[in-house]
Amino acid sequence: MYYEEIKSGSLVRFQLSSIVCPEQSQVLEKITRRLNLTGKVVQLSDAGNQQDFYVIVQVGGIMSPLIVPVNKVELCRASSEDEACI
């Protein structure tokens, strides 16, 4: 199936399971600390007496919530996780 609206330079989204080359295990080995993730904040957490210091984020495809300092996240303008966060 060919999609005319997809062309060189288009931003696309797909699941890890959709990759046919290289092997999924090779892709996982090549992930760096600079990988950008998008998820839904499920809770804010304090750090000692610093209120709302961390966000607890659920990311689709990761089976455990992630804890991230609130100053390291960017608020997406998308209204849902299914939309692009640019």
**φ/ψ of residue 47, rounded to 5:** -125, 100
| H-run or E-run covering 55 | strand 50-58
Spans of all domains in the chain: 36-72
The candidate with the shortest Cα–Cα distance to 57, out of 45, 36, 43, is: 43
- At residue 2, does pLDDT exceed 70? no
For 61, the 3-state DSSP assignment is: coil
Which pLDDT belongs to residue 77? 73
Which pLDDT belongs to residue 47? 86
Which pLDDT belongs to residue 7? 80
- 8-66: per-residue pLDDT in tens? 788 778 788 888 899 988 999 999 999 889 999 999 999 888 888 999 999 998 999 99
pTM over 0.85: no
